[in-house]
Structure 1
């Protein structure tokens, strides 16, 4: 029977249109539907163009609806022809069925469709796996596309109550040992990782990747943290890898932006390089973390905002944790290193990442983090200092000095005067805190 959705979408009546994938899955889960994707059966690219659809697919025919801009893909099959994400040959023709199109999808919960009447089409048991809270592959072709491993880990983080089917876990391990992951382009790896970081339980993504051996291939710097001990008085969870998981989930609980979550992921990378004879202390791990974050970001093409915040948090989180005991000059120097006056939002994000680090420990999740309020108050106090006026006053005074002497000494004099004024602005806060 011809799907009547075709006429609703401006296509010939001989064409069938189905809502597929995430929209069907999320409706069954009772979750908000973000986007709707459509599969068109029985059509040709010429038909889509004639109906006003805009072509966007590079590897296979995908079109945007001329009004809604939703994606419409022609039903297709695929065949593996080479290693990697792009190593596929696609077949798109009017004789490809909906069931054949759904068969190439990754998970059963993503391989469902709805027709015009809202009837569910579920040839691979996706609805049963939703009820069982199970992430299961559709077929053996799952291992042909390395992106599917990352997508499954991302779905596990989005649906943390779902388990991975044992047979699917076996395929994940096989995909890792096949070397397919090495063919992934960095941008696609970052795309999947960043989406996983933005879920409600990002640590679940790390767990799934680690269980199949993929974490060591994709994020070896993070994988190396598991099994590294920390002082039990500061870290009841002991294991540094487990600490990172707790920090990540705490960052999600704080509704942090991506840059904060990436900083949470990378802030302690240097602990994996702590010499064994000084464990469980980790003196100097901050600079070791900074040295690792740069190459990691280059390898995965991490955006600059994430890279910059990760470097800042790695270098300064220990000083920020201890800021309640710092003197006024030390606080001003900390604010200088954080570029807090020029970039107050980044400083606020840095404090948020540090809060996640502080509370991301076994049994510490409900603790308060007074260091953040302390430093924000210090920043607010120093923002009352009128740096421009100080500079103008000193320049006017400097006019009375010989020109060569004044021009050489003036920048230093201005910097010292502004620093002293900021220290003076903070000192009353410290006296209040101590009283």
Structure 2
């Protein structure tokens, strides 16, 4: 089966088809709403300087727009969806407060009334993302034992700083979507936001978009671990953030759906550590026959191929004895080039992979966005005929996510 519905609301059948529409989140006050004491809780390694981070992100957006990409912002879609269905918006706020740990029904009602009485829908969305500090609420708010005990904690609802990395809470696959079940509690509200958008935004509510996986799944799966090699093949990382069982659930959901074109999943077992948190931090596609990779994972990869068994919902799973390069050659039916982060140099490779040198966003075949700071890797890409858009990244790189991490394609041209 060839890749399906052209001009659909979601249309992503590859990593490299010319990018037509993408979803971003411009960083906001959520980056200023936590202190070094809470870095580990919020999955950050450092405090970002918001003004410079926004300037760098605006440059990223401008590069995409100049290339003809329609850039959309998740905060704008949220605001439009809340305006389109105000009752659903209030239900979302209640669920958001539950997910934020506000378990008192009276307290939730008070916070919701305060938000809707005091702010526009756009401001409500901004506060949902930025988090609500305890001192922001009127002093007359309803007291509860839990609120009094936790009085020293600075947040009623915690900020959502990782929304910057739009690749993770959902993933476009073909003409459908995966709503991620996030590994860490601090990120689970991100998928809740995307669920609200797809159910209530006027662009999507009647678009009949298949959902291949749901955020309510009890084991984790995140979008940064999913690469669409072609209209029939997914690569998925079993990583620090994605569990093997979730890959099986996704495979069963895809294979039983007649509107899906995916026929094979190749699962990678990668080291469960901060530097390799997702597959796309160590491996991305940049052209029909070229890929970036962090060299240190090549000899340590365990690969499994998952295909339909033809019997009910069961799967056929085999451990691959081939190298990654051999698998790519077989799938793509062409020779491939693996471009090693840092040009294979151990020190440069580790330094530049830490700053997302292998995490590229393809605008088109052979045309990518990268962080400017990874000069050895960038020169390697240019030497191999890749058109490279270098982005300033003194602050954004501190978040441990590159151009691919910060973007979720909604539509690409079908190759």
Same fold at TM > 0.5: no
- Larger relative helix fraction: 1
User: Which structure is larger by alpha-carbon Rg, 1 or 2?
Assistant: 1
Which structure's relative contact order is higher, taking Cα pairs within 8 Å and 6+ residues apart?
2
| Higher relative strand content | 2
